[in-house]
Each structure stands twice: as structure tokens, then as C-alpha cells.
Amino acid sequence: MSLGLNAEPATLNPLLQPESASVAVMALLYNGLLKQNENLELVGDLANDWSISDITTTPTIKFTLRHDIRWHDGAPFTARDVLFTYHAVMDERLVSPLRTDFEKILSIEAPDSWHVIVRYRVPFSPALLGWTTSILPAHLLEGTNPIDWAGSFNRHPIGTGPFKFDEWKSNEYVRLKRNDDYFLGKPWLDSMVFHIFPDPLTMRLAFETDQIDFWDAPPSAIQSFSNNSRYELFDAPSNLYTYVGWNLRKSFFKDPNVRRALAQAVNIPEMIHYILYGHGLVSKGIYNPQQWFFNPNVVPFSYDPKKANTLLDAAGWKRGPDGIRQRHGKRFSFTLMTNNGNDIRKDIATLMQDDLKKIGIEVKIEIYEWAVFLKQVRSQNFDAVVLGWGLPNNYDQYSIWHSSQCHPDEVNYVGYKNSTVDQLLIALQQEYNHAKIIQLAGELQQIIYADQPYLFLFVPQTTSVMPRGTYRVCYPSDHGFVDSPIHMTNAGWSYNLEWFYRTDFRKK
């Protein structure tokens, strides 16, 4: 199977800060102790049994591991690998964004090779979800410096997943080959090749000339493919939202009233109409509508340039002789950055530039290659950025919004600090009651949306296209293998991707 990526993967180490290209490849290379099934329910992966006790005091999880798993180099998977992964995440040299999932662990031990016992210092309701984290091989990495992995393991990984790493040719492709010893059975496909494309047009041409088998169609192309019987389309609300992140360390963006003015100066419904061709929803903040803890009562700011002007005037930003606002002799002129290869983000930047000029703000646009762009973001060297979040089905967003997570290479890169939000984030982590979680998450969503540390833009619809009837899926279940057409699930059309097979070849 051949698939397309719109950027070079930043790493193939799942403990580092992931982005979409890396995640797509790593999903086939690694496993966690647990995983989410097609209905987003937690089920066993490397662990075949688990229990949790003492949830209101010192929660304790006991995992029983499978005995039939081998790493891609043939070494056996054991509890040693789980302990090593925990210690790697907590190693300050690695700077892993997953640390917030594990820093509440009081102790972790392996009484033997097939059991792991994890005790937490305090109640921590997302604890089980944290163990969907991919496990790394202790026999290869234990005793080595994580800084040295950049030139070795991070580009030549060894996992336990259905496919093995084969080759990575920079700016061209990453190729994986079938893992014949995969513990759930040998995949049907011989290989997976992820081709790297410099721009959306090149990727579209590759799809139309059968160089790649699936394509995430941009909104502008959906209509032409939906009217063509040769193709099959898979539509779903995405787990993404697109936003503009303000660097709150910059004087322009420190005042929340200024950020609220910016939110009302940008015509988001127009963006959805012209950029997404109507295939999207106005974002209501940090959660998306399909998540069970989403607060539908958050009211988005409406497009209101008059009110935006009033707020800016009140904040002391007055128009200068050239029409650009000034305060204390400083012009309201900032740089908006985004990455190359994403036309939607470039169009967002252009429309924002036009909208903000109308209220006396000058926006300069800079486009960077993905790796350079990420480096600028992680080092906090920016004024504002156009980016997006892909959301897991998890209400815990401590690493994104807590004030302790503002350092370089951490995920709260905009520098957002709010003591009430900090308290809510901790309360959510310690709450197990379903109704109470909905209440706390709703308050969190409302407060952060009102503060506008991001300009929350929209939730796009995702549409994937494939030539009709090219692939089917035959996946293992409790009742044997199930053979079916590819279909949409709560986890997306590509759930069970490792069990796809081509209809013009017999399954091997």
C-alpha cells in the first residue's frame, strides 16, 4: 500500500512531541499496553488483562502482559520494556511531552517478566489512557543517552507493531515491511510506503495517477470526486481544530481584551465558506463536538469589526498617521508564521492579514518548511502561528494549558497562565464521576475560550478518497477473522489499516 504525507516526519520516536506525519507512520510500528478500539473504548494490546484499585487514594493498576510478543529484531517483549519506557519518559534529557501522564506515578515495579504494578501518588482518572503510550525496547536503549537517539533509533526504530521499519529516504519516502511475527497474525500486505510530497497539488496528481492509494482530499476537490463513480469517499467530523496561537509573552497579545478584539475582527464563517467550501464548523474551543465531554453551550465570538475597534481603542491602541495602531510609540505589527505544503493554513494567514488590516493591524506572513517551523514553535521564537491540534478522546489537557508547561520544547508553547484553569486541570485529573467530568471540562472549555490564548478558528470535516473497491479489510475478532468492505468507524476509516488487503491480490 502507498500513502501520502504532506510533510517529512519529525521523528519515529513516539516519546517525543508528535505531529501528524510521524503519528501516521508510528501507528504501524509500535504498541502500547492498551489501545482504543473502533468505538474508542480501551482494550488490551501488549497487556491482555489489567485491574485498577484504590482509585480515590493511591490508584494502583496491575497489568498482565502477553507472552507471545517479540520485538522486530526477535528479542522477547517483557515487563522490563515497560519499566524502561516509564523511566525514559521521565528522563529530563528526553523532554517528552508524555511526562505529564506519568509524573503522578509513585512507584512502578515488575514482580516478574509478565506483570507490572503501577501506583499513583494521587487520584488520576486518565491513568489507563496514559498506558496507550507506545513501549520502547529496553534491550536496545537501556543505558544509552536519549540525546544520541536522534541519529540512530529515532530514524531506525524497532517496535512490536504489524510492520517493521525498512528505509527512510529524506524528502521522498518512509518504507515499512510486513512483520511476519506480529502477535495478532501476519498482515496481508507486504509493505506500507509513505510518500512525502512538497505540496497538495503534487499529492493530488500522485493519487490521480495511482501512485498512492488513499488521499485526504482538500475541501476544494470534494465535489469533483463525489460526482465520480470511480471513487469512494469517507466523510467524518475530524478530531482536529485549526487555530492561531498567540505568543502571550509578546506585548501585543498579553491583554485578553486585545485577543478578544482579534477574535471578533477575523471573519471565521467566511473562512469556512471560501477555504473549506462549507465543510467545517466554527470552533468552540479546546474540545470538539463529537467528544462526550464537549460543552455545546460555549458561544463563539461573532464577526464584529466595530466591537473589535472599540476594544482596541480602550486598550490604548490608537490609529497612527499610516492607519496602523500604535501604543507607547510601538506599532501593532506582527509576523504570522505557518508551514509550507498546507494551502489551507496559507489561505488563513492571507484572510487574517486582510481582516486585521481593516482594524489597523499590520500582519506580515512567513512560510517555513515543516522542520524549521516546528523548531521556531518549540523554541518559542514567534509572534503568532497558524497550527492545528489532533485531539485524542481525552479530557485531560494538562500538558497543553497548565502554567507549569510553558518552557521551551513543552506543549504550552504560547505561555498561557491562568490559576483557575490550573485548578480545573488538576481537578479533572482526579475526578472519576462521569457527570462531574462533563461539568469540569465544560468550565475549562468556557474559560479558555473566553481568554483566547488561541484564536480558535474551525473544526474541519475530513474526506478521504480511494478508488472504489480497491481494498477490503479482514481483521481479527473474538470470533475469528471478519472480512468486510472498508467502512467508517468512530475511530475513522483507517482503523484496522494493518488488516487491509488489495482485492486484486489473494491474501497471503
Residues 383 and 411 in one domain: yes
In a domain, 379, yes or no: yes
Give the domain-ending residue among 139, 174, 201.
139
In a domain, 194, yes or no: yes
Residues 358 and 314 in one domain: yes
In a domain, 227, yes or no: yes
Q: What is the pLDDT of residue 39?
A: 83
Which cell numbers in the block locate residue 407? 518552557
Residues 177 and 249 in one domain: no
Q: What is the pLDDT of residue 339?
A: 94
**What CATH number is associated with residue 261?**
3.10.105.10
Residues 94 and 116 in one domain: yes
In a domain, 27, yes or no: no
Residues 436 and 492 in one domain: no
> How many domains does one find in the chain?
3
The Cβ of residue 190 has, within 10 Å, a number of other Cβ atoms equal to 11
Residues 448 and 487 in one domain: no
Domain residues for the domain of 252 are 240-461
Residues 375 and 319 in one domain: yes
Residues 113 and 42 in one domain: yes
The Cβ of residue 178 has, within 10 Å, a number of other Cβ atoms equal to 19
In a domain, 24, yes or no: no
Which cell numbers in the block locate residue 364? 506580515
In a domain, 30, yes or no: no
List CB contacts of 91: < 8 A, sequence separation 6 or more: 146
Which cell numbers in the block locate residue 145? 543517552
In a domain, 147, yes or no: no
Residues 399 and 313 in one domain: yes
The two beta strands, 454-467 and 280-282, are: antiparallel
* pTM exceeding 0.85: no
What are the helix (H) ranges across 209-255? 219-226
8 alpha carbon, distance to own chain's centre: 16
What are the helix (H) ranges across 193-253? 200-208, 219-226
Residue type, 480: G
Q: What is the dihedral of CA 302, 306, 309, 314, to 10 degrees?
A: -90
Residues 45 and 111 in one domain: yes
Residues 324 and 344 in one domain: yes
Q: How far is CA 18 from CA 13, 193, 300, 378, in A?
A: 8, 19, 29, 12
**What CATH number is associated with residue 478?**
3.40.190.10
Residues 251 and 293 in one domain: yes
Q: What is the pLDDT of residue 162?
A: 98
Question: pLDDT means per 10 residues in the chain (508 residues)?
Answer: 93 87 95 92 95 92 98 98 97 89 95 98 93 97 93 95 97 97 96 93 93 91 88 85 97 98 98 94 94 95 98 97 95 97 93 98 96 94 95 90 94 97 96 94 98 97 90 91 89 91 74
Give the domain-ending residue among 110, 139, 168.
139
**What CATH number is associated with residue 90?**
3.90.76.10
Q: What is the dihedral of CA 127, 131, 133, 135, to 10 degrees?
A: 140
